[in-house]
Structure 1
Amino acid sequence: MAAEFRDYYETLGISRDATPAEVKQAFRKLARVHHPDVAQDKSGAEEKFKEINEAYEVLSDPEKRKKYDTLGANWNQQGGPPPPGGGGARWQSSGGGPMPEGFEFEFGGTGFSDFFEQYFSGGGTRRAAGFGGGGFHGGGGAMRGQDIEGDLMVTLEEAFAGSMRTISLRRMDPRTGQVATDEVQVRIPAGIGEGQQLRVPGHGGQGSGGGAAGDLYLRVRIAAHPDFRVKGHDLYCDLVLAPWEAVLGTTLPLKIPGGKTVQLKIPPGTGSEDQLRLKGYGLPKKNAPGDLYVEISIEAPSDVGGEEKELWEKLRDVSKFKPRED
C-alpha cells in the first residue's frame, strides 16, 4: 500500500522556484474555478478542489515545502525515501501494542491523499492503552487496541452547515498480506474549528485477549478558501473599493459561506485598511457565532485621460482633503 507521489507544483501549475505570493495567487485562481459552489463540472469539482487545497497546504508552509522539496529530490532513488519520524500511515510500535510492527493503514474519504498522510500528517498511532486504561496485563490478559490519528479536510461550507462523511480505513497485516477495510459515517458538526478532533469509538486497532478496540481520532483541518480566512470562529475577507465608493459610501452585496448574500453598507469616508465588522456572520458557535471582518483596500484607476482626467484635476483643486498623518 505504498503511497503514490504527488507533484504539488504541477497541481498548482507553478514552477519550483515560485514565490509565496505566486503560490497563493495560483491557489486562489484555481480554487475559484474548481470550488464546488461555482464549478461547471460538479462531478469532479470536489476532488479537484481537495487536490488543490492539499498542494497549497504543503507549499504555503515554509517547513512543509522544504521537507517536500527534499523528498522530491530523493523520490526516484531505489527504494524511495524513508517515512519521516512521527508521522504517516504506518503503525509505530509503542510498548507492546497488539498490532505487530510494520502493520500499515491508509485512510480514504478524509480529503487528503495517502501521500500527504504518510509524509505531512501528524497521524499514526496515538497510544497503546490496556483494558481499563492500564498497560498489558500479562498472562493472556486483555489489552486495548491502539488508537489511530489522521487528518480530516473540512471545507468552510461544511464547517458552516455541518455534514456527514464516509471515512474508510484500510489495514494490511504484513504477516499475511491481507487487507481489511472498515467504513464509518462521521458526523461533522456545524461550527467545527481548526485543530479540533472527532472521535470515532471502536475503529482503531483491534484489542487482544478480549480487550476492546481502540478509537479513531480525526484532526480537523479547515480547507483554505479563495475568499475567506478563518481565525477561530471569525472570518476575514478582503474588499476592494473604487475611490468614489469609499468617499461617498455605498451598499454592496457580499456572498458569505453557507449560501447567503448580505448587503454590506460602506460608510462615507471609508479608508484603506479600515475594517468593517458584521456581527454574527462568522462560524456557528454554541454560545454565540463568530463575526465576519471585511478588510478594505482602495484601488485607484491606473490610466485616465480626457474628460475623466479633467474631472480628477478639478476634484484636486476644489477638495479640502488633507491626507491623514500617521
Structure 2
Amino acid sequence: MSAPLSEDLTMEYKDYYKVLGVDKGATEAEIKKAFRKLARTHHPDVAKDKAGSEAKFKEINEAYEVLGDSEKRKRYDAMGPGWNQGGAGYGGGGSWAGGGGDYEFGGTGFSDFFERFFGAQGQRPSGGGFGNEFGGGASGYGPRRGRDIEGDIMVTLTEAMEGSQRTISLRQQDPRTGQSKVREVEVRIPAGVGEGQRLRVPGHGSAGTGGGAAGDLFLRIRLAADPIFRVKGHDLYCDLSLAPWEAVLGATIPVLLPGGKSVQVKIPAGTGCDDQLRLRGYGLPKKSAPGDLYVEISVAVPANPDAEELALWEKLREVSKFKPRED
C-alpha cells in the first residue's frame, strides 16, 4: 500500500541536514560523505530490517536530492523552518500551489514536503475542466479530454534492475467545496528504466468533460542515488580498492552486484590505478543486450604499517627495478 496522504495543507518541515547528520554549513564533500555512509548502512540490499531500511533509505536519498544540488539547497535554505508562516511556503510550485484542482501524490518515495517544493508535479492543462472529477456538469463546448498529470517517482537501482510493481495514491481537492477524492493506481516499473524516463499510465489523469476521455498520468523516473554504483545510461560503474600486492601479483576478489549478490572477478597481475575492468552484461537490462558493469581500480596504501611491514617495504625498495608505466 502507498503511504497515506496528508489531509490538509499543514505538513511537517523536513530538516534534511538532520537527516544526513551534518551542519548547515557543511561542504559539498561532507554532505556526499555523510550520504554515502548512511546509504550503505540503510541500503535495502544489506539491511536486516527490509521495510524499515527502505523507508530510511528513501528519506536519506530525498535529503541528498536537495542538499546535494546547489540550486535546490539555496531554495531550501531560503525557505527555512518557517516555510508555512505568512504564506512563505507557496512559492515553490508544489502540489497545491497551483490551485485549480492540483493533485497530491503518495507512494512515490518522496515526502509531501518534497513533492510540494521540489517535485515535478507539472499540472499542465490539456483540456477538460474540474467539474466531472467531482460530478460537476460538462462545459458548453462539447467533449473535452481531461488534462494529463505528472509527478516524480523514486526508483531504487534494484527496482531498475529487476522491475517492480508500485501503488501510487492521487488525491485531488476541489477548491470550490474543499471536497477531496483519493484513488489508487497500480504502476508497473519495467526493468531497465533510466533517469528521466517517463512512464505513461493511460486514463489516470484528470477526468474529461462532456463525455471526453480522461487524461493520462506520467511518472518521471528519479533513480535513487546509490552509495556503491553510478549509473550512466545502461552501464554501471563502481570502485574497487586493491592492496598493493593484489595489484602487482593479481588476485580473485568478490565484487558486489546490485541486489546484494556478488561475482568473483580475476584481477590481472600488474593492474594499476585508474584501470577499468569490464564485466559484460552486469549493467541495467535493455531490449538489445544488457549494459555492462565497469570496475574502476584504485590501489590503497597501508595507513599505519608496523615495524615489520616497514622493514619489508624498505627491502622491496632496495631490490625493486620499478619504473613508472607509460600509458
Measured after TM superposition, the shift of residue 73 of structure 1 is: 6.5
- For 2:65 and 2:245, how far apart are their aligned partners in 1? 38
Measured after TM superposition, the shift of residue 190 of structure 1 is: 0.6
Corresponding residue of 2:112: 114
Note if contact 2:139-2:209 (Cα within 8 Å) is conserved in structure 1. Answer: no
Note if contact 2:46-2:260 (Cα within 8 Å) is conserved in structure 1. Answer: no
Kindly report which structure 2 residues correspond to 1:136-285, keeping only aligned pairs within 5 A, or say none: 139-285=140-286
Corresponding residue of 1:129: 127
Residue 89 (1) aligns with residue 95 (2): yes
- For 1:51 and 1:305, how far apart are their aligned partners in 2? 42
Aligned partner of 1:141: which letter? G
Partner of residue 39 from structure 1, selected from 5, 29, 47: 47
Change (3 A) 1:260 1:114: same
Q: Tell me the SS of whatever aligns to 1:125.
A: coil
TM-score if structure 2 supplies the norm length? 0.90
- For 1:274 and 1:80, how far apart are their aligned partners in 2? 51
Measured after TM superposition, the shift of residue 76 of structure 1 is: 5.7
Measured after TM superposition, the shift of residue 129 of structure 1 is: 3.5
Note if contact 2:160-2:284 (Cα within 8 Å) is conserved in structure 1. Answer: yes
Note if contact 1:90-1:124 (Cα within 8 Å) is conserved in structure 2. Answer: no
- For 1:138 and 1:148, how far apart are their aligned partners in 2? 20
- For 2:302 and 2:246, how far apart are their aligned partners in 1? 13
Measured after TM superposition, the shift of residue 294 of structure 1 is: 0.7
Report Cα offsets for 1:93-143 as digits up to 9, x if no partner.
xxxxxxxx5323211111011211121122221331369xxxxx9734111
Note if contact 2:146-2:208 (Cα within 8 Å) is conserved in structure 1. Answer: yes
Corresponding residue of 1:319: 320
Corresponding residue of 2:101: 103
Corresponding residue of 1:291: 292
Q: Tell me the SS of whatever aligns to 2:188.
A: strand
Unaligned runs of 5+ in 1: 93-100, 132-136
Note if contact 1:91-1:124 (Cα within 8 Å) is conserved in structure 2. Answer: no
Q: Is 138-147 or 21-30 further displaced after alignment?
A: 138-147
- For 2:114 and 2:279, how far apart are their aligned partners in 1? 36
Measured after TM superposition, the shift of residue 324 of structure 1 is: 3.5
- For 1:76 and 1:195, how far apart are their aligned partners in 2? 30
Q: Tell me the SS of whatever aligns to 1:82.
A: helix
Residue 59 (1) aligns with residue 71 (2): no
Change (3 A) 1:117 1:76: closer
Q: Is 42-51 or 118-127 further displaced after alignment?
A: 118-127
- For 2:81 and 2:174, how far apart are their aligned partners in 1? 30
Change (3 A) 1:70 1:91: closer
Identity of aligned residues (%): 67
Note if contact 2:91-2:97 (Cα within 8 Å) is conserved in structure 1. Answer: no
Measured after TM superposition, the shift of residue 10 of structure 1 is: 0.7
- For 1:121 and 1:180, how far apart are their aligned partners in 2? 21
Q: Tell me the SS of whatever aligns to 1:124.
A: coil
Residue 24 (1) aligns with residue 23 (2): no
Note if contact 1:91-1:103 (Cα within 8 Å) is conserved in structure 2. Answer: no
Aligned partner of 1:67: which letter? R
Unaligned runs of 5+ in 2: 1-7, 130-137
Note if contact 1:249-1:268 (Cα within 8 Å) is conserved in structure 2. Answer: yes
Corresponding residue of 2:3: none
Runs of 4+ with >4 A deviation: none
Measured after TM superposition, the shift of residue 91 of structure 1 is: 7.2
Q: Tell me the SS of whatever aligns to 2:91.
A: coil
Report Cα offsets for 1:150-192 as digits up to 9, x if no partner.
0010000000100100011011111111111110110000111
Aligned partner of 2:29: which letter? A
Q: Tell me the SS of whatever aligns to 1:50.
A: helix
Residue 48 (1) aligns with residue 56 (2): yes
Aligned partner of 1:110: which letter? T
How many residue pairs align between the two structures? 311
Change (3 A) 1:76 1:119: closer
- For 1:32 and 1:80, how far apart are their aligned partners in 2? 36
